[in-house]
Structure 1
Amino acid sequence: MRNLDEFAAALSQVTAQATGAAVTSAQTQSVIAAAASGGEDAVRRAVAGMSTAELQQLPQQLKR
């Protein structure tokens, strides 16, 4: 039973990380699209709802 609990916890952690990466990737794409089509104001609107952690990840995502 303990191994199953450990596996479930590890799976939950990996799933949360993958979900977070997908959200960050989608947000990065929206920032790129805003910059390409709308300029500075569009980018401001695109990043307005992002957390500090998400904003800190943005440069790494843009390099990919």
Structure 2
Amino acid sequence: MNVEMTSDPDQIRARVAALLAELPDPTADDSEHVDVEAIAARLEEAHDLLVRALESVER
């Protein structure tokens, strides 16, 4: 995901929410079949987005 970074908190929240919305429900009946690697990758994307947002504010 190479999207122009914004410092608008609402846009950042929306982007993080969109990334996290794709995570599977860990309480679902079939949660033992959840792809942990995919969850980790999605969380890392959200983390990277937040780091970039903080870096853009510091400039």
- TM-score, normalization by structure 1: 0.39
Larger relative CO (CA 8 A, sep 6+): 1 or 2? 2
Q: Which protein has the larger Cα radius of gyration, Structure 1 or Structure 2?
A: 1
Q: Return the structure number with greater helix share.
A: 1
